[in-house]
């Protein structure tokens, strides 16, 4: 059964998100662990989590994707900024233990002039401080578009980070269709070729989630502006191929397109 859903607001809790997901024909979803600007997280509501877990089981919601605030920068030149990313992610992972077996995605960060190598080192060392062998969450590096000095727009960069991480069984990758196309991987013309390259450089066994987005910008634009499915440069057929690709079977597919619930429901239906 195809696992597909979208990004949902977490402000009303987990049970609310679960019900919202079901109401739009989704069987997975993504949420921000806290305000995306990176403010303090609300304490975990254990009763809400318990209610969600039984609702999720009943409705076959299997793997959900937590997303770290996108303002974190694990490879900033500023130690305080790196420390803030570390504390936030550590706290998020502790809270994720209430929902074991899911994934936690983050943007690797921007090296802001220090160079890719230095950026990769900072990210790996942060991960080495927060990953533990007994945690129940896999932490995912998101493939990026290469806007500004973003690390992670080349598969090689993600592979280098993973190579430096000690707890390898707790690290994976989230593949964003808008970002990879913007970064210069031609999933519109050669999806099989891109997946093969991913497999050779990172390994498909490291792939744990997919963000399904169309893009407002042409190939290799390094822009990162998501578009509704079918209204951008990728188009419906390419994205339908992605969600039904045999090599990606079983992964959670989350839409992050500019939509309200109604629009998401229509895109989910169309892609199914
Ligand atoms: Fe993201
Ligand atoms: Fe994304
Ligand atoms: Zn994006």
pLDDT, tens only, 33-67: 998 776 788 889 999 999 999 999 999 998 999 99
For the chain, the average pLDDT equals 97
Ligand nearest to the CA of 212: 2
For residue 162, what pLDDT is reported? 99
Distance 167 CA to ligand 2 centre (A): 24
Whether pTM exceeds 0.85: yes
Higher pLDDT among residues 41 and 180, named by residue: 180
Residue 176: is its pLDDT beyond 70? yes
Q: pLDDT tens across 134-171, in order?
A: 999 999 999 999 999 999 999 999 999 999 999 999 99
Distance 208 CA to ligand 3 centre (A): 17
For residue 220, what pLDDT is reported? 98
Distance 73 CA to ligand 1 centre (A): 13
State percent of the chain over pLDDT 70: 100
Neighbours of ion ligand 2 (CB under 5 A): 176, 211
For residue 114, what pLDDT is reported? 97
Distance 182 CA to ligand 2 centre (A): 12
Ligand nearest to the CA of 106: 1
Ligand nearest to the CA of 71: 1
Distance 79 CA to ligand 1 centre (A): 23
Place of tokens 């990728």: 234
Average pLDDT rounded to a whole number, residues 114-137: 98
Distance 117 CA to ligand 3 centre (A): 23
Neighbours of ion ligand 3 (CB under 5 A): 224
Cβ-Cβ contacts under 8 Å for 32 (sequence gap 6 or more):
10, 66, 67, 68, 69
Distance 254 CA to ligand 2 centre (A): 9
Give the integer Cα–Cα distance in Å for 45 and 21.
19
Average pLDDT rounded to a whole number, residues 250-256: 98
For residue 38, what pLDDT is reported? 66
Distance 50 CA to ligand 1 centre (A): 27
Residue 240: is its pLDDT beyond 90? yes
Distance 142 CA to ligand 1 centre (A): 6
Ligand nearest to the CA of 36: 1
Average pLDDT rounded to a whole number, residues 70-82: 97
Ligand nearest to the CA of 179: 3
Cβ-Cβ contacts under 8 Å for 36 (sequence gap 6 or more):
69, 70, 71
């Amino acid at each position: 059964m195809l696992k597909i859903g979208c990004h949902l607001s977490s402000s009303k809790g987990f049970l609310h998100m679960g019900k919202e997901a079901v109401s739009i024909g989704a069987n997975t979803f993504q949420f921000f662990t806290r305000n995306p600007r990176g403010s303090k997280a609300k304490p975990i509501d254990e009763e809400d989590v318990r209610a969600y877990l039984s609702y999720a089981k009943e409705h076959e919601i299997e793997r959900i994707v937590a997303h770290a605030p996108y303002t974190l920068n694990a490879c900033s030149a500023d130690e305080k900024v790196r420390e803030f990313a570390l504390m936030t992610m550590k706290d998020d992972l502790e809270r994720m233990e209430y929902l074991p077996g899911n994934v936690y995605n983050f943007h690797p960060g921007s090296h802001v002039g220090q160079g890719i190598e230095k950026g990769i080192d900072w990210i790996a060392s942060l991960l080495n401080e927060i990953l533990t062998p007994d945690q129940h969450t896999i932490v995912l590096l998101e493939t990026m578009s290469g806007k500004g000095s973003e690390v992670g727009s080349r598969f090689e960069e993600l592979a280098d980070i993973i190579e430096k991480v000690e707890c390898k069984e707790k690290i994976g990758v989230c593949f964003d269709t808008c970002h990879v196309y913007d970064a210069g991987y031609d999933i519109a013309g050669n999806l099989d070729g891109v997946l093969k390259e991913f497999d050779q450089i990172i390994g498909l066994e490291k792939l744990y989630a997919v963000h399904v987005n169309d893009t407002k910008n042409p190939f290799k634009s390094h822009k990162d502006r998501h578009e509704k499915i079918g209204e951008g440069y990728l188009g419906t057929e390419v994205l339908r191929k992605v969600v039904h690709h045999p090599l990606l079977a079983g992964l959670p597919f989350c839409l992050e397109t500019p939509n309200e619930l109604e629009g998401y429901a229509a895109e989910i239906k169309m892609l199914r």
